[in-house]
Amino acid sequence: MYLYGAGGHAKVIIDILRAEGKSVEALVDDNPDLTELYGLEVVHESKGLSPLIISIGNNAVRKKIAEKHGCAFACAVHPRATVSPSAVIGEGAVVMAGASINAEAAIGRHCIINTNASVDHECLIGDYVHISPNAALCGNVEVGEGTHIGAGATVIPGVRIGRWCTIGAGATVVKDLPDGVTAVGTPARIIG
């Protein structure tokens, strides 16, 4: 197993993989000054390394790297996460400790379901989405590609959030949001 990215997000994924009983061979990073992280070698060429997990928190960067590398991608699911047997988790996704993914939820490719986040029944989460710590998505929520749901945000049942949106920390989303907006507050209002 190899990780692409040698920052703080990589440290969490290493911990998850170790908790799963999996080993990390090395990390890949474009910064030539990085040579080691968490006792693991950092290399600067990813050609031929597989399977990979992209260990970078930025959604757009994760997408760019995933599209550039035609290799196999692995997932990491912390043993202390709760994942329904009927849920689907896409390749390259990472599910942190305490996260809950309930019945028939579908998590896209290269998503981050962060610490203690809750994704309830029948939610549809697009590729490259980040659901931050303690965020709660009620049932039947749809989140478009690349959207970032901030820490502690709540999305009520049945809401649809567009692609590449940013939902502020602590926001309460009570109505559908179009693509590309930033929404904050309770109830969430579009500010950009």
Residues annotated as part of the active site = 121
Structure tokens that stand for 65 in this block: 């790297």
Give the residue carrying structure tokens 């993914």: 101
Contact 177, 190 (CB under 8 A): yes
CA distance 189 to 182: 8
Q: Is 66 helix (H, G, I), strand (E, B) or coil?
A: helix
Residue 44: how many CB atoms within 10 A of its CB?
Answer: 12
Q: Which residues of 68-99 are buried (b: 16+ CB within 10 A; e: fewer)?
A: ebeeebbbbbbeebebeeebebbbbbbbbbbb
Burial class (CB in 10 A: 0-12, 13-18, 19+), 67: exposed
